[in-house]
Homo-oligomer: A and B are copies of this chain.
Amino acid sequence: MPGHIVTSYDTDLENLRRSISEMGGVAEKMTAEATDALVRRDDTLAQAVIVADKRLDALQRDIEERAVLLIARRQPLAIDLRETISAIRVSGDLERIGDLAKNVAKRVVAISDQAPAQKIVLGVRHMSDLAEGQLKDVLDAYASRDVQAAHDVWERDGEIDALYNSLFRELLTYMMEDPRNISFCTHLLFCAKNVERIGDHTTNIAETIHYLATGEALAGDRPKNDASNYATVDGVPAP
Contact assessment for B72 and A81 in the assembled complex, using a CB-CB cutoff below 8 Å = yes
B-chain residues with CB within 8 Å of residue A239 when the two chains form the complex:
178-180, 239
The A interface, classified by DSSP as helix, strand, loop or mixed, is: helix
Check: A41 CB closer than 8 A to any chain B CB.
Answer: no
Residues from chain B with Cβ under 8 Å of A217 in the complex: 61
CB contact list, A193-207 vs B, under 8 A: 193
- CB of A166 closer than 8 Å to a CB of B: no
Give complex CA distance A75, B81 in Å: 13
Inter-chain contact A232/B111, CB cutoff 8 Å: yes
Contact of A186 among B61, B81, B189 (CB under 8 A): B189
**Copies of this chain, how many?**
2
A85 touches B68 (CB 8 A): yes
Chain B residues, Cβ within 8 Å of A233: 182-183
Is A9 interfacial (CB-CB < 8 Å)? no
On chain B, the residues within 8 Å of A179 by CB distance are 175-176, 179, 236, 238-239
Q: Mark A19-50, 1 if CB is under 8 A from B, else 0.
A: 00000000000000000000000000000000
Is A77 at the interface (CB under 8 A from chain B)? yes
Chain B hits for A186, CB < 8 A: 172, 175, 186, 189
Contacts of A125 in B (CB 8 A): none
Check if B172 sits within 8 Å of A176, measured CB to CB: no
Q: Which of B76, B109, B172 contacts A230 (CB 8 A)?
A: B109
Seen from chain A, the residues whose Cβ lies within 8 Å of a Cβ on chain B are: 61, 68, 71-73, 75-77, 81, 85, 92, 103, 106-107, 109-111, 113-114, 172, 175-176, 178-180, 182-183, 186-187, 189-190, 193, 217, 229-233, 236, 238-239
A-B contact pairs, 13 of them (CB 8 A): A72-B75, A103-B229, A109-B230, A110-B230, A111-B232, A172-B182, A176-B179, A176-B182, A178-B239, A180-B238, A183-B232, A183-B233, A190-B229
